[in-house]
Amino acid sequence: MQYGMIIDLERCVGCHACAIACKAEWEVPVEFGRNWVRRLGPTKVGDELASTYYPGLCNHCAKPPCVDACPADPVDVVFKDAKTGKTVTKSVAATWKDPFNGTVQIDKSRCLGCGACAEACPYGARYVNPALTDDVSSDGKADKCTYCMPRVEAGLIPACVQTCLTNARIFGDLDDPKSEVAKYVAKGAKGLEPKGASIGPNSRYYGKKKDITLLFQDETPELADMGSVKRRVMMASMVKPAMRKARDLGLLGLAGAMLVKGLSEKKNDE
């Protein structure tokens, strides 16, 4: 199974209901968004005038750069197939790709709040939510679209899909040839992908050729500077021992933050 979403640009009217529904469902801070809608055009594409919308969200990629960027210590997690009950144990960091449904998820209890995953995402689909703090990270936790997995596991559909006034968002199993999303792919729905890279986005777009051309012309993502990401990962790795020590000593708040800062600076000086 690989969950995916189709955005039918011929149906989208740019009303932002999807983005508002997502904020309401998951209490997303005003200044951030798990999804978004941007207007493109009107502009000339070939001999035609094109104008469309770019409803964006996490693409739950086949090869997600964000997963490789996460510096949290891996732990063994048991995953269960909702349909068959089959289980598999997989060693994962604080963000991972689910082996059964193909979604990319975050364990916020282990997230360091370093922002490495957000920097690695070529779509800008991740952010560090400063409201999500604990003794592991006083700066917040990474957050993003989850394809509303808690809703899906309860037999519902993602909030953005349910709220879409024109049924421009379609959600389902891309591996099921009978599903509506798979039929859209067969008709030519495509994912926005960085030039020269193959990361397999599973949120895809369908529409008139001129509008799809405009979308890819204006919004083709770029792979992050992995050197910069690795430096962020390295800094997070250096701070981790201090975080553990603060947690083990039960030092929270200002005292814990001062200890983390002091140990981090000592590590940097070495």
Q: Is the pLDDT assigned to residue 244 strictly greater than 60?
A: no
Q: Is the pLDDT assigned to residue 4 strictly greater than 90?
A: yes
> CA-CA distances (angstroms) from residue 138 to 120, 239, 251, 252, 256?
21, 12, 12, 9, 10
Phi/psi of residue 253, nearest 5 degrees: 60, -140
pLDDT of residue 226: 60
pLDDT of residue 193: 94
- Biggest CA–CA distance in the chain, Å, is 68
Average pLDDT over residues 39-54: 94
pLDDT of residue 196: 83
Check whether the bond before 74 is cis (ω within 30° of 0): no
CB atoms within 10 A of CB 222: 11
Start and end residues for every CATH 3.30.70.20 domain found in the chain: 3-219
Average pLDDT over residues 88-92: 96
DSSP string, 85-120: --EEEEEE-SEEE-TTT--EEE-TTT-----HHHHH
Which one of 3.30.70.20, 1.10.1660.10, 2.40.30.10, 3.10.20.30 gives the CATH number of domain 3-219? 3.30.70.20
Average pLDDT, the chain: 88
Two tokens at 125?
A: 């689909």
pLDDT of residue 267: 40
d(CA 229, CA 38): 27
